[in-house]
Amino acid sequence: MKEPNDVLVPQHYKRLKRGPQVILPKDIGMIIAYTGVNKNSLCVDAGTGSGWLAVSLAKVAKEVTSYDTREDFIKIAEKNKEMEGLGNLTIKKGDVTKKIDEKDVDIVTLDMPNSDKALKNAYKCLKEGGHVVGYLPHFEQVKKFVETLNKLGFKDALALEAIVRDLLVREQGVRPSTKGVWHTAYLVFAQK
Amino acid sequence: MKEPNDVLVPQHYKRLKRGPQVILPKDIGMIIAYTGVNKNSLCVDAGTGSGWLAVSLAKVAKEVTSYDTREDFIKIAEKNKEMEGLGNLTIKKGDVTKKIDEKDVDIVTLDMPNSDKALKNAYKCLKEGGHVVGYLPHFEQVKKFVETLNKLGFKDALALEAIVRDLLVREQGVRPSTKGVWHTAYLVFAQK
Amino acid sequence: MKEPNDVLVPQHYKRLKRGPQVILPKDIGMIIAYTGVNKNSLCVDAGTGSGWLAVSLAKVAKEVTSYDTREDFIKIAEKNKEMEGLGNLTIKKGDVTKKIDEKDVDIVTLDMPNSDKALKNAYKCLKEGGHVVGYLPHFEQVKKFVETLNKLGFKDALALEAIVRDLLVREQGVRPSTKGVWHTAYLVFAQK
Amino acid sequence: MKEPNDVLVPQHYKRLKRGPQVILPKDIGMIIAYTGVNKNSLCVDAGTGSGWLAVSLAKVAKEVTSYDTREDFIKIAEKNKEMEGLGNLTIKKGDVTKKIDEKDVDIVTLDMPNSDKALKNAYKCLKEGGHVVGYLPHFEQVKKFVETLNKLGFKDALALEAIVRDLLVREQGVRPSTKGVWHTAYLVFAQK
């Protein structure tokens, strides 16, 4: 039987370090597709955590700045940045609920406790039409995040969960795996 | 209530033309995340169809070549390429079961009837470690595709479905939408 | 393509009237299996609504009493009771948040606004080990219901969703249906 | 975190013995709801296995006969029958692909290898309008079962999967469980 790691962590992510809980590729893929991140995009990310999302964004975007308040996490993420040789990723110590230095940003991704408190700064740093993304495990967080988005004037808030299920393809027959991962977090998307 | 189009087609895809059945962003995101497509990647795609996948890949990859046998589809895809201003996307009339011109390719994506018949040429054109992806609606196709991958020497075949479900966030309460899209196609990934 | 009615409403339910929103057989089956309703069971149900749950319970239980405050709903449910010829189902006009007449009940099922307000009376009328079930569309209701269960001394609260998805079995291949029903309500189970 | 056993095996099933793979209550509930098994129903079941389905049916039906070819399984099921004190359940050693003794049966449930080979006898023993149910882990089995149903003249074949997912209701927030059971088997229903 396949383990969640076989199903949810493709080979090229396995070389990355895993410190704090990572955002899995299934959710990273959704973030890229739903925001339209591309070679011209400026991205701001917080918190960095192990840096899986920041690293993945840096591979497809122009510039990525990722913020975290914890130095131990930043160290892990710096290792992952180095491993992938990403010159366009800057990891900063800082609290995005207090300040975001960047301007005219295309995408802000938020995976941190009380991320709704960072939405005001996210709004300020985004260019018109820019995207904000929240990664939120609990439904109460989704509710508060969406309510804050609406209050701040963000448009088209959309709350999703991305579920990935694998098929076992074997001689005796094809069937979905018995067990698997049901939930990581909800993804909330909106545009300035 | 949200319509599937609100949930599965983000704003920046709505300006694209839809001729033949498109690959939806939920599946495009998975393809990007699971193959690790990035600014250095050379991609081959077939069939082009409406070109949604080819266009999305071209936004994050170095070069994309997309093949289709039908001129009516190619016309739609050319319009979408133009709309997005993508100089690094080449759309060719051709049958990848017969011939793939490109060499040292990083990713081959296949969404076409009998795509298992294109796997031999996919193998030849891929560099070592390169990824192949099949987009396959039926179980029987998944089975045949995986069996062919194994025969040809591809590694780590993984068959997945990516399911996206939206939450309704309203004053009266938060709940998943009543109805939605359950299935588009299975995604099969493997590496040379 | 199969319509939700083909998938979620088996033939023997199609002859029943549908007034207010019904509890679907997928959820009725869960209620029967998870409470262990059987030929010796005394059941109390509220609100009756169209009576689909009450009728289904009466077919397998000893006695069922179903309460509703609305006469128009009771009329529909009485028609369904008659159609199925169920002498062991009593439909009463009444508000279970105020009073439940029955004693030593095995199962209480609650599908009504503010059903948490009926839990005190549910506790009183249940025999030791008896089951209570809440049918709750929104997360907030689940939360409040479970918190009230815990306060009142109910044990082993379990909140579930039952999802039914159909396969299309056709000559061209087997695949899950494209669209379908994702959510009716959460089911919360607990025991006295 | 909740274990699959907490979520998928309600308390009143925990006292039953588990020998060979059991049919879980989520699927038993679907079988009861979708066939309309009730106090007047005659049921035939094969293979008995640990007897969880046979025991559950006997609690709500008039008479249940369950067949298995293996004496070790029959012993386990007899223990479960005794535990539940079910006088209306008969467990027989026998192969339903060869012979079903009962007549005018309301429901035949089949959970055994090559259950499609038992469909001819199932058809013969069922009364007009009677239900057959197949419990089938692999999609190839579903395909063959449905094809055989159609050939034999059964009507309204419906292939489903019943998926149960639990919510964690905790002070820090409500969210779906991280991991869980994705697949047991497909359920195929049809009527004579």
Cβ distance of C33 and D11 shorter than 8 Å: no
pLDDT of residue C1: 57
pLDDT of residue B141: 98
Confidence category of residue A1, pLDDT binned at 50, 70, 90: low
The Cα-based distances of C85 to C34, C55, C60, C80, C82 in angstroms read 26, 10, 13, 9, 5
Cα(D125)–Cα(D130) distance, integer angstroms:
9
pLDDT of residue C5: 82
In this structure, what token pair is assigned to residue D150?
Answer: 């159609």
Q: Is B25 on the interface with A (CB under 8 A)?
A: yes
Nearest alpha-carbon partner for B184 in B57, B52, B59, B91: B52
Asked whether the predicted pLDDT for residue A103 surpasses 60, the reply is yes
pLDDT of residue D94: 98
CB-side exposure of A153: number of CA atoms within 13 Å? Answer: 10
Cβ distance of C7 and D32 shorter than 8 Å: no
C53: distance to nearest CA of chain D, Å? 10
- Among chain C residues, the shortest Cα distance to D139 is held by C174
Cα(B23)–Cα(D73) distance, integer angstroms:
48
C58: distance to nearest CA of chain D, Å? 9
For residue C56, list chain D residues with Cβ-Cβ distance below 8 A: 33
Q: Give percent of chain B with pLDDT exceeding 70.
A: 99
Confidence category of residue D1, pLDDT binned at 50, 70, 90: low
- Among chain D residues, the shortest Cα distance to C11 is held by D34
Q: Is D32 on the interface with C (CB under 8 A)?
A: yes
Render pLDDT for A181-192 as a digit per residue (tens, 0 to 9): 999 999 999 999
Instruction: With H, G, I as helix, E, B as strand and everything else as coil, classify residue B21.
Output: coil
pLDDT of residue B107: 98
- Among chain A residues, the shortest Cα distance to D181 is held by A179
Q: Does ipTM come in above 0.85?
A: yes
- Among chain D residues, the shortest Cα distance to C187 is held by D166
Q: For A98, which DSSP code? A: T
Render pLDDT for B46-103 as a digit per residue (tens, 0 to 9): 999 999 999 999 999 999 999 999 999 999 999 999 999 999 999 999 999 999 999 9
Q: What are phi and psi of A76, to 5 degrees?
A: -60, -45
pLDDT of residue B51: 97
Asked whether the predicted pLDDT for residue D2 surpasses 90, the reply is no
Cβ distance of A161 and B157 shorter than 8 Å: no
Render pLDDT for A4-39 as a digit per residue (tens, 0 to 9): 788 999 999 999 999 888 999 999 999 999 999 999
Cβ distance of A32 and B60 shorter than 8 Å: yes
pLDDT of residue D66: 98
Q: Is C83 on the interface with D (CB under 8 A)?
A: no
Burial of B99 (0-12, 13-18, 19+ CB in 10 A): exposed
Q: Average pLDDT in the D98-119 region?
A: 98
Cα(A21)–Cα(C126) distance, integer angstroms:
44
Q: What are phi and psi of A168, to 5 degrees?
A: -90, 120
Render pLDDT for A140-160 as a digit per residue (tens, 0 to 9): 999 999 999 999 999 999 999
D4: distance to nearest CA of chain A, Å? 9
The per-residue pLDDT of chain D, averaged, comes to: 96
How many CB pairs (< 8 A) connect A and D? 59
pLDDT of residue D4: 76
pLDDT of residue D3: 76
Confidence category of residue B110, pLDDT binned at 50, 70, 90: very high
Render pLDDT for B67-77 as a digit per residue (tens, 0 to 9): 999 999 999 99
Q: Is A20 on the interface with D (CB under 8 A)?
A: no
Render pLDDT for D30-65 as a digit per residue (tens, 0 to 9): 999 999 999 999 999 999 999 999 999 999 999 999
Q: Average pLDDT in the B131-152 region?
A: 98
Asked whether the predicted pLDDT for residue C103 surpasses 70, the reply is yes
User: Best mutation site among D148, D167, D175, D184 for testing chain C: the one with the most C CBs within 10 Å?
Assistant: D167
Asked whether the predicted pLDDT for residue B6 surpasses 90, the reply is no
Q: Is D7 on the interface with A (CB under 8 A)?
A: no
Cβ distance of D39 and C36 shorter than 8 Å: no
- Are the C-beta atoms of A129 and A107 separated by less than 8 Å? no
- Among chain B residues, the shortest Cα distance to C165 is held by B182
Render pLDDT for C38-96 as a digit per residue (tens, 0 to 9): 999 999 999 999 999 999 999 999 999 999 999 999 999 999 999 999 999 999 999 99
Cα(D106)–Cα(D191) distance, integer angstroms:
10
Residue with tokens 């990403």: A86
pLDDT of residue B131: 98
